[in-house]
Amino acid sequence: MHGRFSIVVVLLLATGVIACGDSEATQRKAFIDFLQTRIIAKPGVHVPKLTAQETAVFGPYAAHYAVIADFNAGLDEVVSKPMQRALTAAPRSLDQLAARRPEIAKIKGGMGALRGALDRQLATADAARAALKQPDDLKPVYDAAYERDVTQPAKAFAEIFPDVDDAMASILAFADFLDQNREKVRIEGSTIRIIDPSVQTRVQSLIEAMRAKQQAIQKAQQRLRDVVRGT
């Protein structure tokens, strides 16, 4: 009787181990399918919000996806939205430029903080990713999804910062020049009135620098949109 009981226990334990293994394999397969169909197979950046059912189906792998989702949530909150507000607040006309120098200087100073926030978000995500233990069939799929939704957006944002910083610097240089040469150059609405011809060449070079930097920002923004849309 004792021997028979032992055999039954062993069989039950073995069945339990197999069941656990099947459960993990099922969770992993579901997660791999999700990454392949909902992120990798689609152009651009896609960060679907998991349903309660998906979270349950993925089991422990839901935490792996959270690394990607948390990065994007943080990127939107501490980098994307503040940068959009900063660019929206930038002067749109010559008279605004002369009147809003302190705001321009504040925008330029804030770029360093935004770049620092981006670096911290990426470092946190990279560290969390490095700590993940993933089977061989999951890792390359997850790496591809991570590249699409974390690495590429972070790189695209990083490329914008120098252009925005340079653009703000060129605007500040022109604003300072106007302030220091009030008797030689005047802003009248949307036009520049040059009173002293000796400064005309300098004014033209400052304007061309601002125009070039503005074009650089537009190109950087387009690169970011291309990454997000997958075009």
**Could you tell me if 222 and 156 lie in one domain?**
yes
Q: Does residue 27 form part of some domain?
A: yes
Distance of CA 128 to the CA centre of its chain: 17
From the DSSP assignment, how many helices (H) and strands (E) are in the chain? 9, 2
**Could you tell me if 128 and 34 lie in one domain?**
no
Reduced to 3 states, what is the DSSP secondary structure of residue 97?
helix
**Could you tell me if 204 and 142 lie in one domain?**
yes
Tokens of 217: 């920002």
DSSP label at 76? I
**Could you tell me if 135 and 211 lie in one domain?**
yes
- pLDDT tens, the chain, 231 aa long: 444 434 333 333 333 433 344 599 999 999 999 999 999 999 999 999 999 999 999 999 999 999 999 999 999 999 988 888 777 767 767 777 767 778 888 888 888 889 999 999 999 999 999 999 999 999 999 999 999 999 999 999 998 888 888 888 888 898 889 888 888 988 877 788 899 999 999 999 998 988 888 888 788 788 888 888 876
Determine the pLDDT at residue 109.
83
Return d(Cα 151, Cα 149) in angstroms, integer: 6
Q: Does residue 71 form part of some domain?
A: yes
Return d(Cα 148, Cα 227) in angstroms, integer: 9
**Could you tell me if 138 and 25 lie in one domain?**
no
Q: Are 168 and 109 in contact (CB under 8 A)?
A: no
User: How many other C-beta atoms lie within 10 A of the C-beta of residue 83?
Assistant: 23
**Could you tell me if 131 and 222 lie in one domain?**
yes
Return d(Cα 167, Cα 155) in angstroms, integer: 19
Determine the pLDDT at residue 22.
55
Q: Does residue 45 form part of some domain?
A: no
Cα angle 198, 211, 215 (rounded to 5 degrees) comes to 165
Reduced to 3 states, what is the DSSP secondary structure of residue 28?
helix
194 forms beta bridges with 185
Range of the domain at 190: 64-229
Determine the pLDDT at residue 15.
38
Q: Does residue 102 form part of some domain?
A: yes
Q: How many CA atoms lie within 13 A of 47 on its CB side?
A: 21
Q: Does residue 53 form part of some domain?
A: no
**Could you tell me if 91 and 205 lie in one domain?**
yes
**Could you tell me if 28 and 124 lie in one domain?**
no
User: How many separate domains does the chain show?
Assistant: 2
**Could you tell me if 187 and 95 lie in one domain?**
yes
**Could you tell me if 220 and 158 lie in one domain?**
yes
**Could you tell me if 136 and 22 lie in one domain?**
no
Return d(Cα 193, Cα 136) in angstroms, integer: 69
**Could you tell me if 120 and 200 lie in one domain?**
yes
Q: Are 186 and 212 in contact (CB under 8 A)?
A: no
